[in-house]
């Protein structure tokens, strides 16, 4: 007697529902042997095969029918369960949904952060020139370079095929169109080659020579629409700062994922023709220079050639102090944080931290989900016992529970997606730009979501399913429901500890980030930055009539005083090399930052004098032979503040040749250190030189009362002196606050997500507390009958969780301390990692615990023991 | 109303009496009709008839030749017997007094 063909037996087994397998297989085998007996085994095997093949459609139909029938039953049970413990389930689903929404939003944010500038086809070949200078001991890096660099490098290096230069106009620019006035921010001067190097799609046809001639401009689509409505603006005239420009075309708005987003591009040629002094001078660092490398070139090859090139042009002395290197455009958004960036950039650290927070929130949510599902499933032991007693397979029980958790996690996903849409505007506000929700329907993303649902469903269903399927129906039905549950209760406790560890770390982090931020914003800068209006002399021509402007400004009511400096406070200052007394050669000079200021500067800005005196406007000699130095400069030159006064200093000449003067003078006073740079850097040695000219930045201290009248007066005074140029001004303290925009943004995000994490931990705790108290209902009843007071029972119930949270606190503290110390070490001026933050976080966690657990515990503790003991 | 397959299966169960189970029903039907019935086409109507209450099934003891697997045995219920009788009288009525069926091959 042979055996039916095994392969067809397997096929049969795979299509027949397991409830029918036994007798169907038996039937076929029986007939098989009969046929074998009558006609031989060959015939029988043939018959067996044809039987299986022809039965496939019929059995498939039946199997589907059976599983549908069972699914209907499971679904019904699942829904009943959902309804029976609605509160429990909604906590469970909401928790996971919040976790999912957070992760999706942070994921979308990360995708958008990583995709900055990638929409340009040649993006990986576009480099920005970074200038490094080590006039002071700290090497400073700046993206702001001189105009001749681009053409020079392109002409001399075969690896560089093209360049463009950008200049961002600092203030809003007034534009007149047919008598209407518009104020535009994000106005840039740009070379025509920007259109070849970047991908700037035209929204309307552009002229073939767009931006190539002087007094031409391009508008972004949104600006064009604001100015001209639906009309094509090409060929129209716009008055910009008093000059007529012709519109060459309209480009589509730059995507939000661009490191700069111009609204108007003015032709660089205009600058070339009207300001040759600025454009041709190597010392005028005003521009961002971008280079296009040819495909085969690595940027390090070009970097290596820079020193020799600088030496050839400017001599060895300059070459030792100034260097250039290339920065990939794709690195700008996440990796570049220099003074003078076009926009506040993102930071890779923030992204990493956010990613970690997302991961933790998701883990928190999943943990909650598993935790609650497991806790709840213990209540269904009896259901499982009955099922098994009437003949359910282990596999059936497992698949029933897995199916339920998968269904729940799918439900949570739907809710989470809904939340994503609700939260997105809030987050966009924090992030400063909208997120691309269209990524949500990307097939890869959808596949990921389905995978996630299965993963979470299986993960959270697996443990309870396995435990339940293992239940011995006899034991379970006898009522000994929770035998073998002690192991899982350890598991649940560990999860609570984990959740609170994460929450406490996040709370501590948020508190410290907030403190650091307000510290940055509130730290005394060493001068009075309030109520100072800054106006920039945009051209050397304007500076010529600067003195007139200053005296006009000073005459206005509400103005306390006017002064000027060569750099904007907060943005640092240019470096020079000085030879203090006793130093003979330039090689041994001291590198310092230098500000050229009007004589009254230190007085008006309220910088305190440590020793000596300020510049005296009535002593003309101060203009030629007096230096004011800050405390750090005095130390660098080897003097104490009192020794320094009266010492002589020689300023040989500026190294880059931009100011050819030579000056010899004495230190007349030592100023206390003040922050002429942002608080991201330590105060550097600084030397002030008085000048009778008017340096670029005019600072007007105004009185608070009747500010608008004062502003009006200033604007009129400006119009008298410069009838052709518009009045642009901003407040110095705003400028300082903007320096910390990136920190501000991260602080707000951290606040939001820590809040969510805490809410999730609380939610999980709430569910667990309700579960654990209801499990102990009978125990509580018996304790009360035996004479325990309600308060002692309350203490018993709450202390269990308080201990867990305390353990979490002990674990979290060193972690938070370590992480935050690392973060703070990025700042030279910073708050300490102080115990208050930890105490507050611990207290918050504790209060949360007592409140959430206390609610259920109180109800249980004050319940009537007769009711609870009878409870079954 | 019974379908043709259902009617044939009920008849087979009636004929096979205590020995009515999947394999024997299938063999009997195949022998009578001269077609090899796939096993699935036997079980589907068997199930349907059981749900309608015309048949009752029980698990029989495992026998040899089946690899130790048990059989699912079927028996007509009272309703099943009545349904067969109805089917028969309907068929008889339909055939009765046909003028000339014209179906003979002569």
Nearest by CB to B69, from A25, A31, A50: name it: A25
Q: Do A58 and B44 make contact, defined as CB atoms within 8 angstroms?
A: yes
**Residue A304 and residue A199 share a domain:** yes
CATH code of residue B22: 1.10.10.10
Nearest by CB to B44, from A28, A47, A62: name it: A62
| pLDDT number for residue A661 | 55
Mean pLDDT of chain A: 83
pLDDT at A656 over 50: no
Tell me the per-residue pLDDT of A292-349, one tens digit each, with 9 for 90 and over: 998 878 888 888 888 888 888 777 777 777 889 999 999 998 888 777 788 878 778 7
Let me know: does B44 contact A62? Beta carbons within 8 Å: yes
Let me know: does A741 contact A343? Beta carbons within 8 Å: no
B residues 76..95 contacting A (CB < 8 A): none
Q: Do B38 and A54 make contact, defined as CB atoms within 8 angstroms?
A: yes
Domain assignment of residue B95, yes or no: no
Nearest by CB to A22, from B40, B65, B70: name it: B70
Measured between beta carbons, the chain B residues lying within 8 angstroms of A44 are none
**Mean local confidence (pLDDT), A431-436:** 77
Residues whose CB falls within 8 Å of the CB of residue B7, separated by 6 or more in sequence, listed in order: B84, B87
Domain assignment of residue B50, yes or no: yes
Let me know: does A504 contact A814? Beta carbons within 8 Å: no
Q: Which helix (H) or strand (E) holds A286?
A: strand A285-293
Interatomic CA distance for residues A840 and A812, integer angstroms: 13
Overall size of chain A counted in residues: 872
**Mean local confidence (pLDDT), A670-682:** 87
Q: Do A50 and B36 make contact, defined as CB atoms within 8 angstroms?
A: yes
Alpha helices (H) along A530-636: 540-544, 546-555, 601-604, 621-625, 631-636
Choose from A18, A22, A26 for mutation: most chain B CBs within 10 A. Answer: A26
**Mean local confidence (pLDDT), A830-842:** 88
β-strand A237-240 against A243-251: which pairing, if any?
antiparallel
Domain assignment of residue B104, yes or no: no
Q: Do A26 and B26 make contact, defined as CB atoms within 8 angstroms?
A: no
Strand positions, DSSP E, A709-765:
729-731
Which residue from B minimizes the CA distance to A19?
B72
| pLDDT number for residue A657 | 45
Strand positions, DSSP E, A134-184:
140-142, 144-146, 160-168, 173-177, 180-184
Alpha carbon separation from B47 to A23, B6, B72 (Å, rounded): 13, 10, 11
**Mean local confidence (pLDDT), A834-851:** 88
The answer, for B51 touching chain A at a CB cutoff of 8 Å, is: no
Domain boundary among A335, A370, A403: A335
Q: Do B26 and A33 make contact, defined as CB atoms within 8 angstroms?
A: no
Interatomic CA distance for residues A517 and A153, integer angstroms: 41
**Residue A416 and residue A312 share a domain:** no
Which residue from B minimizes the CA distance to A29?
B66
pLDDT at A622 over 50: yes
DSSP string computed for A670-697? EEPP--SB-TTSPPPPEEEEE-SS--SE
Distance from chain centroid for Cα A865: 55
Domain assignment of residue A160, yes or no: yes
Domain assignment of residue A594, yes or no: yes
Q: What letter does residue A139 receive in the DSSP assignment?
A: -
**Residue A749 and residue A722 share a domain:** no
Count of domains observed in chain A: 4
Closest to A128 (Cα-Cα) out of A149, A103, A101, A100: A149
φ, ψ (nearest 5 deg) of residue A123: -50, -40
Let me know: does B36 contact B23? Beta carbons within 8 Å: no
**Mean local confidence (pLDDT), A64-93:** 80
Domain assignment of residue A116, yes or no: no
Minimal CA separation from A31 to chain B, in Å: 6
Q: Do B27 and A22 make contact, defined as CB atoms within 8 angstroms?
A: no
The answer, for B27 touching chain A at a CB cutoff of 8 Å, is: yes
State the pLDDT confidence band at A815, using cuts at 50, 70 and 90.
very high
Minimal CA separation from A475 to chain B, in Å: 28
Choose from B69, B72, B73, B74 for mutation: most chain A CBs within 10 A. Answer: B69
Domain assignment of residue B19, yes or no: yes
Interatomic CA distance for residues A552 and A584, integer angstroms: 45
Choose from B28, B38, B51 for mutation: most chain A CBs within 10 A. Answer: B38
| pLDDT number for residue A220 | 94
Interatomic CA distance for residues A408 and A92, integer angstroms: 9
pLDDT at A769 over 90: no
Measured between beta carbons, the chain B residues lying within 8 angstroms of A31 are 23, 26-27
Let me know: does A809 contact A842? Beta carbons within 8 Å: yes
Q: b/e for A854-865, b at 16 or more Cβ within 10 A?
A: bebbbebbebeb
Domain assignment of residue B94, yes or no: no
Choose from B27, B67, B70, B74 for mutation: most chain A CBs within 10 A. Answer: B67
pLDDT at A655 over 50: no
**Mean local confidence (pLDDT), A597-609:** 89
**Residue A842 and residue A825 share a domain:** yes
B residues 54..73 contacting A (CB < 8 A): 59, 62-63, 65-67, 69-72
Nearest by CB to A29, from B38, B67, B70: name it: B67
Measured between beta carbons, the chain A residues lying within 8 angstroms of B36 are 47, 50-51
* Higher local confidence (pLDDT), A611 or A70: A611
Measured between beta carbons, the chain A residues lying within 8 angstroms of B71 are 23, 26-27
State the pLDDT confidence band at A662, using cuts at 50, 70 and 90.
low
Where does residue A179 fall: left (phi above 0), alpha (psi -120 to 50 degrees), or beta otherwise? left
Minimal CA separation from B72 to chain A, in Å: 6
| pLDDT number for residue A406 | 85
Q: Do B38 and A51 make contact, defined as CB atoms within 8 angstroms?
A: yes
A18-27, A466-475, B21-30, range with the lowest pLDDT = A466-475
Q: Do A47 and B36 make contact, defined as CB atoms within 8 angstroms?
A: yes
Q: Do B40 and A62 make contact, defined as CB atoms within 8 angstroms?
A: yes
Tell me the per-residue pLDDT of A548-563, one tens digit each, with 9 for 90 and over: 889 889 888 889 999 9
**Residue A750 and residue A712 share a domain:** no
Which residue from B minimizes the CA distance to A22?
B69
Measured between beta carbons, the chain A residues lying within 8 angstroms of B48 are none
Q: Do B66 and A50 make contact, defined as CB atoms within 8 angstroms?
A: no
Which residue from A minimizes the CA distance to B65?
A30
Distance from chain centroid for Cα A716: 42
**Residue A227 and residue A289 share a domain:** yes
**Angle (nearest 5°) at CA A497 between A491 and A502:** 125
**Residue A585 and residue A511 share a domain:** no
Tell me the per-residue pLDDT of B18-67, one tens digit each, with 9 for 90 and over: 889 888 999 999 999 988 888 888 888 898 899 889 999 888 877 777 77
Tell me the per-residue pLDDT of A623-652, one tens digit each, with 9 for 90 and over: 878 899 999 889 888 888 888 888 888 876
**Residue A184 and residue A151 share a domain:** yes
Q: Which domain holds residue B38?
A: 4-61+71-88
A37-41, A104-108, A477-481, range with the lowest pLDDT = A477-481
Closest to A582 (Cα-Cα) out of A638, A537, A632: A638
- Dihedral sign for Cα atoms in the order A413, A418, A422, A424: positive
Question: What SS3 class is residue B98?
Answer: coil
pLDDT at A109 over 50: yes
The token pair at A589 is 């000079």
Q: Quick count: other Cβ atoms within 10 Å of Cβ A117? A: 21
**Residue A549 and residue A507 share a domain:** no
Which residue from B minimizes the CA distance to A53?
B38
Measured between beta carbons, the chain B residues lying within 8 angstroms of A65 are none
Distance from chain centroid for Cα A315: 43
Domain assignment of residue B97, yes or no: no
pTM assigned to the model: 0.69
Residues whose CB falls within 8 Å of the CB of residue A351, separated by 6 or more in sequence, listed in order: A110, A113, A114, A334
Q: Do A47 and B72 make contact, defined as CB atoms within 8 angstroms?
A: no
The answer, for B23 touching chain A at a CB cutoff of 8 Å, is: yes
Minimal CA separation from A24 to chain B, in Å: 7
**Mean local confidence (pLDDT), A491-518:** 84
Q: What letter does residue A570 receive in the DSSP assignment?
A: B
Measured between beta carbons, the chain A residues lying within 8 angstroms of B45 are none
Question: What SS3 class is residue A330?
Answer: helix
**Residue A173 and residue A225 share a domain:** yes
pLDDT > 70 in chain B, percent: 93
* Higher local confidence (pLDDT), B14 or A478: B14
Domain assignment of residue A108, yes or no: no
Domain boundary among A738, A753, A784: A738
Q: Which of A79-93, A171-185, A208-222, A306-320 has the highest mean predicted lDDT (pLDDT)?
A: A208-222
The answer, for B39 touching chain A at a CB cutoff of 8 Å, is: yes
Overall size of chain B counted in residues: 106
Minimal CA separation from A390 to chain B, in Å: 16
Domain assignment of residue A343, yes or no: no
Q: Which domain holds residue A866?
A: 348-521+740-870
Domain assignment of residue A44, yes or no: yes
**Residue A724 and residue A610 share a domain:** yes
The answer, for B74 touching chain A at a CB cutoff of 8 Å, is: no
Which residue's entry shows tokens 């660098």?
A636
pLDDT > 70 in chain A, percent: 94
Q: What letter does residue A571 receive in the DSSP assignment?
A: B
Count of domains observed in chain B: 1
pLDDT at A228 over 70: yes
**Residue A744 and residue A733 share a domain:** no
pLDDT > 90 in chain A, percent: 16
Domain assignment of residue B51, yes or no: yes
The token pair at A484 is 């073998």
State the pLDDT confidence band at A216, using cuts at 50, 70 and 90.
very high
| pLDDT number for residue A770 | 74
Question: What SS3 class is residue A587?
Answer: helix
């Amino acid at each position: 007697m042979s055996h039916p063909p095994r392969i067809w037996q397997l096929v049969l087994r795979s299509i027949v529902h397991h409830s029918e397998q036994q007798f169907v297989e038996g039937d076929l085998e029986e007939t098989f042997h009969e046929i074998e007996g009558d006609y031989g085994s060959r015939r029988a095997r043939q018959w067996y095969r044809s039987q299986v093949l022809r039965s496939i459609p019929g059995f498939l139909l039946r199997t589907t029918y059976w599983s549908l029938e069972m699914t209907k039953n499971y679904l019904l049970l699942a829904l009943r369960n959902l309804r029976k413990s609605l509160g429990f389930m909604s906590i469970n689903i909401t928790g996971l949904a919040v976790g999912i929404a957070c992760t999706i939003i942070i994921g979308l944010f990360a995708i958008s952060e990583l995709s900055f500038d990638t929409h340009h086809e040649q993006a990986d070949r576009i480099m920005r020139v970074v200038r490094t200078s080590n006039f002071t001991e700290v090497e400073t890096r700046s993206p702001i370079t001189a105009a001749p660099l681009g053409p020079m490098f392109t002409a001399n290096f075969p690896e560089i095929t093209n360049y463009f230069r950008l200049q961002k106009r600092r203030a809003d620019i007034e534009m007149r169109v047919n008598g209407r006035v518009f104020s535009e921010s994000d106005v840039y001067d740009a070379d025509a080659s920007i259109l070849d190097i970047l991908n700037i799609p035209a929204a309307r046809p552009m002229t073939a020579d767009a931006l190539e001639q002087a007094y031409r401009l391009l508008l972004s689509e949104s600006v064009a629409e604001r100015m001209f409505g639906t009309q094509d603006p090409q060929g129209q005239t716009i008055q910009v700062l008093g000059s007529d420009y012709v519109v060459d075309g309209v480009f589509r708005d730059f995507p939000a994922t661009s490191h700069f987003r111009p609204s108007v591009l003015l032709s660089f040629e205009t600058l070339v023709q009207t300001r040759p002094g600025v454009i041709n001078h190597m010392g005028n660092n005003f521009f961002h220079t971008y280079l296009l490398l040819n495909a085969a070139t690595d940027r390090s090859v070009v970097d290596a050639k820079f020193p020799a090139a600088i030496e050839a042009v400017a001599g060895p002395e300059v070459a030792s102090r100034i260097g250039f290197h290339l920065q990939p455009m794709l690195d700008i958004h996440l990796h570049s944080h220099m003074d003078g960036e076009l926009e506040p950039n993102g930071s890779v650290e923030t992204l990493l931290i956010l990613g970690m927070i997302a991961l933790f929130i998701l883990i928190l949510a999943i943990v909650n989900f598993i935790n609650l599902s497991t806790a709840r499933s213990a209540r269904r032991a009896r259901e499982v016992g009955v099922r098994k007693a009437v003949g359910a397979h282990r596999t059936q029980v497992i698949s029933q529970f897995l199916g339920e958790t998968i269904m729940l996690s799918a439900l949570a996903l739907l809710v989470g997606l809904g939340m994503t849409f609700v939260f997105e505007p809030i987050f966009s506000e924090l992030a400063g730009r909208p997120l691309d929700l269209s990524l949500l329907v990307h097939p890869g993303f959808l596949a990921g979501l389905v995978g996630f649902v299965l993963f979470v469903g299986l993960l959270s269903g697996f443990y309870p399913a396995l435990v339940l399927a293992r239940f011995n129906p006899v034991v379970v039905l006898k009522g000994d429901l929770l035998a073998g549950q002690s192991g899982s209760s350890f598991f649940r406790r560990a999860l609570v500890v984990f959740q609170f560890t994460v929450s406490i770390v996040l709370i501590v982090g948020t508190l410290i980030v907030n403190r650091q931020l307000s510290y940055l914003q509130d730290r005394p800068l060493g001068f009075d930055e309030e109520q100072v209006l800054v106006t920039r002399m945009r051209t050397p021509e304007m500076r010529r009539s600067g003195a007139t402007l200053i005296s006009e400004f000073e005459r206005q009511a509400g103005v306390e005083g006017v002064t000027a400096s060569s750099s904007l406070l907060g943005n640092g200052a240019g470096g020079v090399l000085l030879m203090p007394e006793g130093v003979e050669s330039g090689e041994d000079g001291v590198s310092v930052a230098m500000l050229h200021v009007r004589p009254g500067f230190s007085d008006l800005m309220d910088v305190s004098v440590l020793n000596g005196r300020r510049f005296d406007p009535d002593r003309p000699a101060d203009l030629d032979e007096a230096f004011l130095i800050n405390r750090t400069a005095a130390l660098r030159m080897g003097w104490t503040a009192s020794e320094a006064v009266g010492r002589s200093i020689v300023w040989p000449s500026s190294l880059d040749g931009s100011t050819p003067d030579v000056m010899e003078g004495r230190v007349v006073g030592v100023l206390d250190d003040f922050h002429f740079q942002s608080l991201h850097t330590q105060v550097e040695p600084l030397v002030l030189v008085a000048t009778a000219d008017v340096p670029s930045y005019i600072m007007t201290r105004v009185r608070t009362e009747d500010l608008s009248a004062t502003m009006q007066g200033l604007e009129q005074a400006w119009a008298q002196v410069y009838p052709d140029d518009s009045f642009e001004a901003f407040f110095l303290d705003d400028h300082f606050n903007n320096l910390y925009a990136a920190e501000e943004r991260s602080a707000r995000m951290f606040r939001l997500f820590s809040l969510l994490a805490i809410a999730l931990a609380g939610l999980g705790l709430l569910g667990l507390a309700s579960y654990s108290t209801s499990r102990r209902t009978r125990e509580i009843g018996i304790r009360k009958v035996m004479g325990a007071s309600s308060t002692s029972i309350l203490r018993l119930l709450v202390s269990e969780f308080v201990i867990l949270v305390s353990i979490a606190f002990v674990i979290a503290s060193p972690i938070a301390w370590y992480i935050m110390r690392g973060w703070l070490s990025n700042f030279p001026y910073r708050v300490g990692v102080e115990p208050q933050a930890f105490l507050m976080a611990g207290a918050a966690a504790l209060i949360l615990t007592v409140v959430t657990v206390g609610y259920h515990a109180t109800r249980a503790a004050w319940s009537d023991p007769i009711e609870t003991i009878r409870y079954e | 109303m019974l379908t043709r397959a259902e009617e044939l299966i009920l008849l087979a169960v009636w004929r096979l009496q205590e020995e009515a189970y999947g394999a024997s029903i299938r063999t009997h039907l195949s022998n009578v009709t001269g077609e090899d019935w796939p096993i699935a086409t036997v079980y589907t109507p068997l199930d349907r008839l059981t749900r309608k209450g015309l048949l009752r099934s029980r698990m029989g003891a495992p026998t040899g030749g089946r690899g130790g697997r048990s059989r699912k045995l079927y028996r007509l219920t009272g309703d099943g017997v009545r349904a067969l009788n109805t089917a028969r009288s309907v068929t008889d009525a339909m055939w009765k007094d046909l003028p000339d069926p014209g179906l003979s091959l002569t």
